[in-house]
Chain A
Amino acid sequence: MGETKHEPSFMPGTLDMLVLKTVSRGAMHGYSIAQFIQDASRDVLRVEEGALYPALHRLEVRGLLRSEWGTSDNNRRAKFYRLTALGRRELDNEAEYWTRIASAVTRVMQTA
């Protein structure tokens, strides 16, 4: 049961950042988070769906996300995740960090 064989693997921690960013738009359930990341990245980043849930639970335990049960678009009971204040701060930090790293890497790639 190959787990992460053909999926492009993320840099450690980037999945957390993407999840936080996605959820910052409003409460979402796991399925729509996975779907959003895939769509927004134009299918480049295909989250291995199962792996999303340990990440969600980890972020919740760390207090970056809060969850509540609600009803989905098609009237099913679903668990919705929402960003907390702590999560927003973390997201800002991560985003800033990411931008710095990404631009640094880009600069290196262009000069070399």
Chain B
Amino acid sequence: MTLGLKPSRYVTCATFMNHLLAIWHRLTALLRRKRLERDLDDELAFHLAMREADYRHDGIADAEARQFARRRFGNVTSLKEQCRDMWTFSPFETLLQDVRYALRTLRKSPGFTIVAVLALAVGIGANTAIFSLVDAVRARALPYKEPARLVALWGNVLRTRVERRGNSYPDFLDWRAQSKSFEDMAAFDNQTLTFAGIDDPERILVEFVSAPYFSLLGVTPVRGRTFSAEEDLVATPAYVVVLSDGFWKRRFGADPRIVGRTVTLNTRTYTIVGVMPPRFKGLTDTAELWVPFAVYAPPQTMATRSTRGFGALARLKPGVTVAGAQSELDGISRQLERAYPDTNEKRAVEVSPLDVELFGALRPALLTLMAAVAFVLLIACANVANLLIARSEARRREIAVRTALGAGRGRLLRQLMTESCVLTALGATAGLLLARGAVAVLITQSPVTFPSFVTPALDIRVAAFTIAVSLACGMLVGLAPGLQARSVDLNSALKDTARGSDGHRSQRVRNALVVAELSLAVVLLVGAGLMIRSVRNLMALDPGFDPTSVLTLRVSIPRASAPAAPVPPGALPAPSEPVIRSRALLERVRAVPGVGEAALGTDLPLDGNAAAGTYAAEGMPPTNAQNVPRAYTHRISPEFFSTLRIPIVAGRTFTDADIAPTSSAVVVSDRVVKRFWPGQDPIGKRIKFGQLTSASPWFTIVGVAGEVKYRGLPDNPTSDPDVYLPFVERNSQYALAVRATVPPSSLVAPLRGIIRGADPSIPIYQVATMEERIEEQTSQSRFMMWLMGVFAAVALSLSVIGIYGVMSYLVTQRTREIGIRLALGAGGRDILRLVVGNGARLIAAGILIGLAASFALRRLVSSLLFGVTAADAASGIAVAVLAAVALVACYLPALRATRVDPLNALRYE
């Protein structure tokens, strides 16, 4: 009623005072809680006694007087509670009370508690672990200034944004000059160079970067400076270098007067101008040194618009979107296309957010895992809900008694909810511990290499996620028994004859939960089955060569004498004699016991050192600039094909006679033939590098080799063919491949010894067996396979426990009925059929729903699969496994049912 108004100032003031006073009274009440409780009892008892005495005075009999007094007073328990609420900080204190009560009840049934907490711990722990990984690959996680505005720019063909080919320096300069979307732009690339240190020669990853690179990323040197714009001019490049913290400490003992000292890389001397802070390793995440981009290539190469090979980093101006920058660059690309049709026809540039560049490959896999663990958690919740329903059935009497004694229904519901939340909180605590261990194992044991700045931590966001998830679980899990408790019919519950409608309905809920569990498990099992199949397909894939028992390593052969005169900028150093010629080195390697065959090449399959160039077939000019033939060239020794078991499909391999700088022999891969001379004999046909009009010499095809998965599994990223040339001594960096007759890794030490014996200054690096390289290629798939397998196994066991629980409960509930059936002459088989049939219906429903769901979800994983579809036989096997295990889980309680003694069963209850 809002009749009349009091003077408002008085109200606020008085209300405020009253509040203060009330809080004070409540605070002091905290100190004498016991006494207040006693006083309350006494006070109410006094009232009742007085009323009773009055009634007696009126001539009412003793017993009746007491009854009337009580009736007139009302519900003592409830009124006491109301009085108590006046003195307490009620919501908080009742919560504490509920929690205490919940802990007490949970302690009373340790078996139930342990099973429930474990199930929830596994579910919540797995979710926390995967979430912390997902959270760690967000743009925010990049250790750079405002990473969301950083983008990478890659040249591509035909604006299809499919094939990336890097940028050319003249294009890059034009983009930088003409675009208005970016604050700044920097070119970057990297090379591995030899650092000739005091002790060991070392191969060092060096980033070639434009001057703004560091300010774009927002990192400043801890010592000295970075590059100036003048040092980055192609015409007058400065040989200066910035060190990483690690390199500075490792090779210079953290010398405080480092600036001004020098570093020699590949015979060139660079002056140190600065040192970067710890943990900064550039965009490659492995860089140890940085040099100006101007020294990347000789000036004439830098001036060639058609030589494309590096990426660019740029920062969007505030408010500019990726799409906006993209359309601006599209316009510039079209202008360049008009200005330079020879080199820029159908050339464009792709703007790609930096976080997509660095994390893009990890994200779909992690999101799939996130979905998988969410399923596991749902199954765990369904299981715990089932257990709670079973318990609340058993507690019907307790709940009824509490209701009869005056506990409000809301209060009861809240208490049941509290109980399930306490349960999930315990689960979450155990889960967090589990997740801590799991994340560490995931990062260190994962075959997938995470960038060094991916440091999943159980931080505030992950903790918030876990708390939210466990609260949601608590609500979810408490809902079913809570709703059940609401509808308890006092009379029947207290009389305990009831096995009426309530029992039936709860059985329906429990059945539904089990069906949900089973169908979720089916989805996970199908997913895991597909992953396993996919990995098996990958491993069984023919890479075009035989990777077994092959050891590979890479060397960089120093020149015997460094050029005496300083080399003018941009010019090639005068050739000089290597410390050991490749033939001699190969002979030494071949003499090592355990080495069957040995070969060398400028690069080897899957070692990541391949480089591509354009070529032309005689008499076949390209139709336009974008279908200029492009091939990966490898210079190899004659034994290359036999050592790696790459089939020669036509003609021959090289002979020793071909090993000469003037040789014109070339071996091409099958695709070259398919493109230019299908159905013809390619031997004797000629190709040249560059364009048909180039002055470069002709090469004559002497043989055709089978296609090799040279640059990646399950297939090369581009369909460009491979072209093999004879090895020439001009190449000072090359790879050795050795086919071993002993376990290949046992040859590492003897090979190192024999190579260092030839010259101790030869750096040896990238040592790996071919099988390791293949494993590296399939690492993400195998990682997914293992995790999905583990999650599916957990899901399977949880759901089987679930169906076992429900069937056992069913048998217990129907003991009486089974007893009657047995007494009326039903055989053990009939009882088995009854119980197992019940379970089989649930299993069938679960499988059907699960299969439908996995069909619906197949798109999610299709990018992670290789050579399988959702309708694969693997799904069938997965489902069969589930059905078999679940049927066994039904069979056990059924068997128990057949052993029911009819007499006992009828006496039961």
Write out the residue numbers on chain B whose beta carbons fall within 8 Å of the beta carbon of A90.
14
Counting CB contacts under 8 A, is A54 at the interface? yes
Contact B86 A58 (CB under 8 A): yes
Inside 8 A of B25's CB, which chain A residues have their CB? Answer: 60-63
Tell me the complex Cα distance, A30–B1, Å.
28
Q: Is B74 touching A50 in the complex (CB atoms < 8 A)?
A: yes
**Residue from the list A61, A72, A101 in contact with B4, Cβ < 8 A:** A101
Q: Give CA–CA (A27, B25) in the complex, Å.
A: 20
Contact yes or no, B44 A61, CB < 8 A: no
* Residue of A whose beta carbon sits closest to that of B1: A11
Q: How large is the interface on B (under 10, 10 to 19, 20 to 34, 35 or more residues)?
A: 20 to 34
Segment among B76-84, B627-635, B658-666, B859-867 that sits at the interface with chain A? B76-84
Dominant secondary structure at the B interface: helix
Contacts of A30 in B (CB 8 A): 43, 46-47
Task: List which A39-65 residues lie within 8 A (CB) of chain B.
Answer: 48-51, 53-54, 57-58, 60-63
Interface residues of A in 8-48 (CB under 8 A from B): 11-12, 29-31, 34, 48
Task: Report A46-103 residues with CB < 8 Å from chain B CB.
Answer: 48-51, 53-54, 57-58, 60-63, 69, 72, 74, 76-79, 86, 90, 93, 97, 100-101
Q: Which residue on chain A has the smallest CB distance to residue B7?
A: A93
Contacting pair A79 B43 (CB below 8 A) = yes
Whether A101 touches B3, Cβ cut-off 8 Å, given contacts A61-B86, A79-B39, is: yes
Q: How far is the CB of B624 from chain A (nearest CB, A)?
A: 88
Are A63 and B51 neighbours in the complex by a CB distance under 8 Å? no
Checking B18, B42, B73, B82 against A49 with a beta-carbon cut-off of 8 angstroms, the contacting residue is B73
Asked if residues A97 and B4 are in contact (CB atoms below 8 Å), the reply is yes
**Hey, which chain A residues are within 8 Å of B50, CB to CB?**
31, 72, 76
Contact with A along B182-206 (1 / 0, CB 8 A): 0000000000000000000000000
Inter-chain contact A53/B4, CB cutoff 8 Å: no
Q: What 0/1 pattern do residues 13 to 53 of B give for CB contact below 8 A with A?
A: 01000100110011001000000000100111011011101
- With A49-B47, A50-B79 already in contact, the answer to whether A3 and B74 are too (CB < 8 A) is yes
Residue on A nearest B404 in the bound complex, by CB: A1
* Residue in A29, A31, A53, A86 whose CB lies within 8 Å of B83: A53
Please, how many angstroms separate the alpha-carbon atoms of A86 and B1 in the complex? Answer: 25
The CA of A4 and the CA of B211, in the complex, are separated in Å by 84
- Chain A residues contacting B450 (CB-CB under 8 Å) are none
Residues of B within 8 A of A34 (CB): 47
Q: Would you call B907 an interface residue if the criterion is a C-beta within 8 Å of the partner chain's C-beta atoms?
A: no
A53 touches B18 (CB 8 A): no
- Specify the main secondary structure of chain A where it touches its partner: helix
Residues B86 and A57 in contact, CB atoms below 8 Å apart = yes
Of B21, B49, B53, B82, the residue contacting A63 (CB under 8 A) is: B21
Q: In the complex, A31 Cα to B51 Cα: how many Å?
A: 8
Contact A54–B47 (Cβ < 8 Å): no
Q: Beyond A30-B43, A53-B43, A62-B21, is A76–B49 a contact (Cβ under 8 Å)?
A: yes
Are the C-beta atoms of B86 and A31 separated by less than 8 Å?
A: no
Contact A48 B46 (CB under 8 A): no
Residue from the list A31, A61, A69, A79 in contact with B22, Cβ < 8 A:
A61
CB distance from A57 to the nearest CB of B (A): 4
Is B72's CB within 8 Å of the partner chain A?
A: yes
Whole-angstrom distance between the Cβ of B18 and the nearest chain A Cβ:
5
What CA separation (Å) do A76 and B43 show in the bound complex?
11
Chain B residues with Cβ below 8 Å from A12 are: 1
Contact between A53 and B44 (Cβ–Cβ < 8 Å)?
yes
Across-interface contacts of A53 in B (CB, < 8 A)? 43-44, 47, 79, 82-83
A85 to chain B, nearest CB (A): 12
- Interface assignment of B214: CB less than 8 Å from any CB of chain A: no
Contacts of A93 in B (CB 8 A): 6, 10
Once the chains bind, are A104 and B75 in contact (CB under 8 Å)? no
Q: Does B87 contact A (CB under 8 A)?
A: yes
Distance in angstroms from B371 CB to nearest chain A CB is: 51
- Distance to closest chain B CB from A23 (angstroms): 15
Instruction: Tell me if A50 and B51 are in contact (CB < 8 A).
Output: no
Tell me the bound Cα distance from A54 to B75 in angstroms. 12
Query: B3 to chain A: which residues have CB within 8 Å?
Result: 101, 104-105
The distance in angstroms between the C-alpha atoms of A65 and B693, with both chains bound, is 109
A34 to B72, CA, bound (A): 12
Closest-by-CB residue of A relative to B85 is A54
* Distance from A13 Cβ to chain B, minimum over Cβ atoms (Å): 9
A54 contact set on B, CB distance < 8 A: 79, 82-83, 85-86
Are B75 and A63 closer than 8 Å at their CB atoms? Answer: no
- Closest Cβ of chain B: how far from A35's Cβ, in Å? 9
- Nearest CB in chain A to that of B86: its residue: A57
Q: What's the minimum C-beta distance from A76 to chain B, rounded to whole angstroms?
A: 6
Q: Which residue in B6, B72, B79, B87 is a CB contact (below 8 Å) of A97?
A: B6
Task: Give B406's nearest chain A residue, CB to CB.
Answer: A1
Q: Which residues of B contact A61 (CB under 8 A)?
A: 22, 25-26, 29, 86-87
Residues of B within 8 A of A104 (CB): 3-4
Judging by beta carbons under 8 Å apart, are A76 and B21 in contact?
no
Among the interface residues B10, B53, B79, B87, which one has the most CB atoms of the partner chain A within 10 A? B79
Is the Cβ of B87 less than 8 Å from the Cβ of A31?
no
B610 CB, min distance to chain A CBs, angstroms: 82
B79 contacts A29, C-beta separation under 8 Å: no
**Chain A residues closer than 8 Å to B86, beta-carbon distance:** 54, 57-58, 60-61
Q: How many angstroms from the CA of A11 to the CA of B2 in the assembled complex? A: 11
Collect the chain B residues with CB atoms within 8 Å of residue A48's CB: 74
CA–CA, A97 and B43, complex, Å: 32
Shortest C-beta distance, A52 to chain B (Å), equals: 8
Closest chain A CB from B818 CB (angstroms): 41
Nearest to B88 among chain A residues (CB) is A61
Least Cβ–Cβ distance between B431 and chain A, in angstroms: 42
Known: A50-B76, A69-B39. 10 other contacts (CB 8 A): A1-B75, A30-B43, A30-B46, A31-B46, A31-B47, A31-B50, A49-B47, A49-B51, A79-B39, A104-B3
- List 6 contacting pairs A-B, 8 Å CB cutoff, sorted by A: A31-B51, A53-B82, A63-B18, A79-B46, A93-B6, A104-B4
* A-B complex: 3 closest residue pairs judged by Cβ atoms: A50-B74, A57-B86, A54-B82
